[in-house]
């Protein structure tokens, strides 16, 4: 994933026949306190614009140059997916095989353009996307600075999520290595993060924090064993179509909003399989299996943060140690590593 840092901005202003150059003050990465997931990006953008214009006195008149949009480091020709959920990346224009997906506001490097299609590179993927759904130029840069978020990456095998920023505070959950977390506030030695619908604190000694844009996901990341049925593959791929769609507690729509158990309920219903509506009843309804038995389409259950004897969250396993789930109102439906937090158990209803 490419890291983003706001750099030095240079404003250029043309006055009469004289070209005058003004260099704006450097704008540094902004750490923002608050509960809005986009707060960091929004304030960074405002600071960015405020410092990127130059004011010049000439003939008793004040002339202010237009803001100059700075490139995002790591991208020479940035593209941003302008979609509600995800943008298909194809091996060839029009009807080419789908080789990956660029999520809403995902970033890519634009390599070329022809006949309404961009040839792009994002993460490990190269392919074609429809020009109708990709922002480029200043539009892409402006969107990028808006959506960049502070992301914490866990660098410990097991990291405690605590109720308060203190080693004496109760442990809410245990987070897995390399899991990426949304940072909503930074304190001295601690970061307040969001895990599904729960806020808690983690020590900054065991995380790295950076402003990031997300990149594409390759379909090759899903490793299906030889004994995986066509139904399971179809379920896993169908579920991923809704990554980026909103989370709505009690909602009943894959596109307009649902919660964690509503998501799994609706996915199964699409394939004619009726399962209970809530996470706890799904846990009781499904047959218990071990982690080694997991196949795409099986469910992974997580405990209530403050009651480990109850089930508070559910996700669908999609292979390669990953799940897709309706996480919380900030992130919506998303991908995670299966062990991104403490696991209560695994369930299966498909017999194949």
Residue 227 confidence (pLDDT): 63
* Tokens (6 digits) for 153: 């990456």
* Tokens (6 digits) for 267: 């996915």
Give the containing element (helix H, strand E) for 215.
none
Residue 1 Cα distances to 17, 40, 127, 215, 336, angstroms:
44, 18, 17, 6, 15
* Tokens (6 digits) for 78: 């940035």
56: left (phi over 0), alpha (psi -120 to 50) or beta: beta
Distance CA(298)–CA(161), nearest Å, equals: 26
* Tokens (6 digits) for 2: 């490419």
Give me the half-sphere count of Cα atoms (radius 13 Å) on the Cβ side of residue 297: 24
Residue 2 confidence (pLDDT): 39
Query: Within 10 A of 352 (CB to CB), how many other CB atoms are there?
Result: 11
Strand, coil or helix: 345: strand
* Tokens (6 digits) for 92: 């060839």
* For the chain, counts of helices (H) and of strands (E): 5, 28
Domains recognised in the chain with CATH numbers:
3-64 (no CATH), 78-147 (2.30.30.40), 151-212 (2.30.30.40), 222-348 (3.90.1720.10)
Residue 64 confidence (pLDDT): 45
pLDDT digit of tens for each residue in the chain (352 aa)? 433 333 333 332 322 323 333 333 332 233 333 333 333 444 444 444 444 444 444 444 444 444 567 888 889 999 999 998 889 999 999 889 888 889 889 999 999 999 999 999 998 899 999 999 999 999 999 999 998 888 999 999 999 999 999 999 999 999 999 888 989 999 999 999 999 989 999 999 999 998 888 888 765 554 444 467 888 888 998 999 899 899 999 999 999 999 999 999 999 999 999 999 999 999 999 999 999 999 999 999 999 988 889 999 999 999 889 999 999 998 899 999 999 999 999 999 998 7
Residue 232's φ and ψ, nearest 5 degrees, are -65, -45
């Amino acid at each position: 994933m490419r890291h983003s840092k706001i750099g030095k901005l240079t404003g250029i202003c043309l006055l009469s026949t004289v070209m005058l150059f003004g260099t704006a003050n450097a704008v540094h990465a902004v750490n923002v306190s608050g509960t809005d997931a986009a707060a960091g990006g929004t304030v960074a953008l405002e600071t960015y614009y405020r410092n990127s214009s130059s004011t010049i006195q000439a003939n008793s008149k004040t002339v202010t140059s237009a803001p100059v949009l700075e490139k995002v480091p790591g991208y020479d020709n940035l593209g941003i997916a302008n979609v509600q959920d995800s943008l298909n990346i194809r091996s060839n224009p029009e009807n080419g095989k789908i080789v990956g997906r660029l999520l809403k506001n995902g970033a890519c490097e634009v390599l070329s353009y022809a006949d309404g299609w961009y040839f792009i590179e994002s993460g490990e993927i190269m392919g074609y996307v429809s020009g109708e759904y990709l922002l480029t130029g200043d539009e892409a840069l402006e969107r990028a600075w808006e959506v960049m978020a502070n992301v914490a990456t866990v660098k410990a095998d097991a990291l405690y999520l605590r109720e308060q920023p203190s080693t004496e505070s109760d442990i809410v959950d245990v987070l897995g290595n390399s899991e990426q977390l949304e940072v909503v506030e930074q304190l001295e030695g601690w970061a307040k993060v969001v895990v599904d619908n729960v806020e808690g604190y983690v020590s900054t000694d065991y995380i790295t924090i950076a402003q990031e844009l997300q990149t594409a996901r390759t379909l090759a990341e899903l490793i299906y064993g030889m004994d995986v049925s066509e139904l399971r593959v179809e379920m896993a791929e169908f579920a991923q179509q809704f990554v980026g769609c909103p989370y709505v507690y009690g909602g009943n729509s894959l596109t307009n909003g649902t919660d964690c158990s509503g998501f799994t309920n609706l996915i199964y219903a699409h394939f004619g399989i009726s399962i209970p509506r809530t996470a706890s009843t799904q846990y009781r309804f499904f047959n218990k299996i071990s982690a080694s038995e997991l196949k795409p389409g099986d469910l992974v259950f997580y405990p209530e943060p403050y009651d480990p004897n109850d089930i508070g969250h559910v996700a669908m396993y999609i292979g390669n140690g990953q799940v897709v789930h309706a996480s919380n109102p900030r992130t919506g439906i998303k991908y995670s590593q299966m062990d991104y937090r403490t696991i209560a158990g695994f369930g299966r209803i498909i017999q194949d």
